[in-house]
Structure 1
Amino acid sequence: MAAANVLATREAAVKAARAKDEADVAAREAAAVVLRLFDNDADLVADLLGVPAEELEREAKPVTAARAKEVIEELRARAERPPRSRRAPRSRAEASPPSPPVSDVPVRVSAPDDGRADAA
């Protein structure tokens, strides 16, 4: 059981490392894209995002201009697509059938239970 736990933990660590790498790449690409969209005005973008301009430029530097352009085109294509139709969730009142009126429900009268059970 301990070996299985070790294997599962190692697998989770590998997945987490892979996810971190993908997030790092996405962050670098986003920095490059935003700089490209704002004509490489790092000071303006840094003020808008509240991050140091040097950090922004350092993040964007490894991303090629061609890749930044690809990401921009992907974003534009996604923005031009019609939005997906989503059905609004039904409210609870619509989802459940109406309950019968109280006057139609028979009332049963019984003796009060004092909480003691028969010992037999």
Structure 2
Amino acid sequence: MAAANALTAREAAVKAARAKEEADVTAREAAAVVLRLFDNDAELVSELLGVPAEELEREAKPVTAARAKEIIEGLRSRAERPRATRTRKPRAEATDAVPSISGAPAPIVAADGSRADAA
């Protein structure tokens, strides 16, 4: 039982380490991309994001310019794609509840389904 628990804990630790590494890579790439988009103006990006400029530069340094450019091109192509739109069916309640525009008062319907005159 203890060995199974140890194995499970080890597997969880390995998964967590992989997830952390992926998150670190994503953060480094994001820093490189944002710096590239703002012409490597670390001071401006630092002010916009509230992150020290030195930290941004340190994070972005391991990312190649080619990788940053590749990410930017991917983002641009995603932004240019038309979004998939779903057709919506008109709601029956909404079409029945539309008030009349004729200027005549709408009749009041009682709870039993009969009409009562509006006062």
TM-score (normalizing by structure 1): 0.69
Runs of 5+ consecutive residues of structure 2 not aligned to the other structure:
89-111, 113-119
1:4-51 CA distances to partner (integer Å, 9 max, x unpaired)? 111111001000000000100000000000000000000000000001
Instruction: Report the Cα distance in structure 1 between the residues aligned to 2:87 and 2:4, rounded to whole angstroms.
Output: 43
Count how many residue pairs are aligned between Structure 1 and Structure 2.
Answer: 92
In structure 2, the CA distance between the partners of 1:5 and 1:30, relative to structure 1 (3 Å rule), is: same
Which residue matches 2:91?
Answer: none
Aligned-pair Cα RMSD in Å: 2.3
Which residue matches 2:78?
Answer: 78
1:47-90 CA distances to partner (integer Å, 9 max, x unpaired)? 000011011001001111000000101111111222244688xx
Runs of 5+ consecutive residues of structure 1 not aligned to the other structure:
89-102, 104-120
Deviating above 3 A after TM superposition, structure 1's stretches of 4 or more consecutive aligned residues are 84-88
Which residue matches 2:51?
Answer: 51
1:68 aligns with 2:68: yes
TM-score (normalizing by structure 2): 0.69
**Percent of matched pairs sharing the same residue:** 81
Which residue matches 1:6?
Answer: 6
Query: Looking at both structures, which has the greater relative contact order when contacts are Cα pairs under 8 Å and sequence separation is at least 6?
Result: 1
Which residue matches 1:109?
Answer: none
